[in-house]
Structure 1
Amino acid sequence: MLTRTTAIILVAALAAALGLWASRHYFGQAGGSAWPATQAVQLFDPPRELPAFSLRQSDGTPLVPGELKGHWTLVFLGFTHCPDVCPTTLAQMAQAQKQWAAIPESTRPRLLFVSVDPERDNPDRIGEYAHAFHRDTLAATADVPALEQFARSLSMVFAKVPAAEGVPADQYTLDHSAGMVLLDPRGRMSGVVQPPFDPKAIGADLISLTKAATP
């Protein structure tokens, strides 16, 4: 039987998925994409501008839209106490990151891990967690209202699931979108990558897109 929280998450996720499908369908009618064909990334044409946001990176510095410009960036929501989806995804993405390691740092694709569990995940913790998978992974978080606004702008969702009866309250978990969103070098929402993930295909796509965006 579905809990009320799980039901809400499923409805929200379905609405987000339908919104993404509709945008891809609509944008696809507007004309051919200027980017090369991709295997794992589903591109939008045209991309979608994001509203202003402010997160805090693992080194304590602000992460604002301008910080993401100049690179293709994959955004993944998660939390460090995640038992399965998060470590699996970050391990898979580490394989993809190794493929584009030779690209100059100034244009190298990036992975941004955003913790949606600020109650337990401080900047130091998310940095240690993300960098254990790959040293180049960006990690950030914020307070819940800012995280909700950021996730909503990417058509992503998350929600806290209280601990079961008899379990310490701080052992709660979170439901969250399992896919990734791709931001283009101008910081716009340009596509999505849905599980199951193929690291080799993701790596190839980001290398191809980076080459196409480099003058």
Structure 2
Amino acid sequence: MVNHDIYPELCKKETNSPMNENELQLRFGQLAYDSAYQARLPLDQWQPKHCGEMDLCIRANGEWWHEGRQIHRTSLIQLFSRVLCKEQEQYYLKTPTEKMLIHVEDEALFVDRVARIMVDGKALICLSTTDNDHVVIDETHAPFMRDYQGEMRPYIYIRHGLLALIQRHAFYHLIEEGELIENEAGETILILQSGDFCLHLHS
């Protein structure tokens, strides 16, 4: 059961009033570090009121900017990412009682690690994000290619409507875990086997 009394009330501060990193951490820290919610927070079960827009942008290169200044504090970015979701093509920071709109240039999460793990005798491919989300490649979490500003980039679904860009070095590692073939049309295809799931990823 969520205790609403301990969570931050975003609407108490006007959305156009500046908040420094310490204030932001105080507003979200209790929720993100609540011992009962160290796993993924049930954002899809919360129906809070909309409290406007925060001047927060996640850039296409992975940088987080707040009110014109880059956020360098990793712990604060991780706090934000735990309460981040996408609903109806919009990105929000969400608590049980409030949610605020933010801007995302491309996608909000970024895969930076690839590992092969053994579960019940089956070899699975696990992808991890910079914010320590972990997904195993399967039918729900299958990498795909998509154009961004004229460049084909690899993505994967993570949680709560959020996709992650697979960063270049992680994608090279993913290629090493699979097999590259060329079809009759001359297209390069990456074959990935993760447990019983086999993916043919077209470039």
TM-score, normalising length from structure 2?
0.25
Structure whose alpha-carbon radius of gyration is higher:
2
**Which is richer in strand?**
2
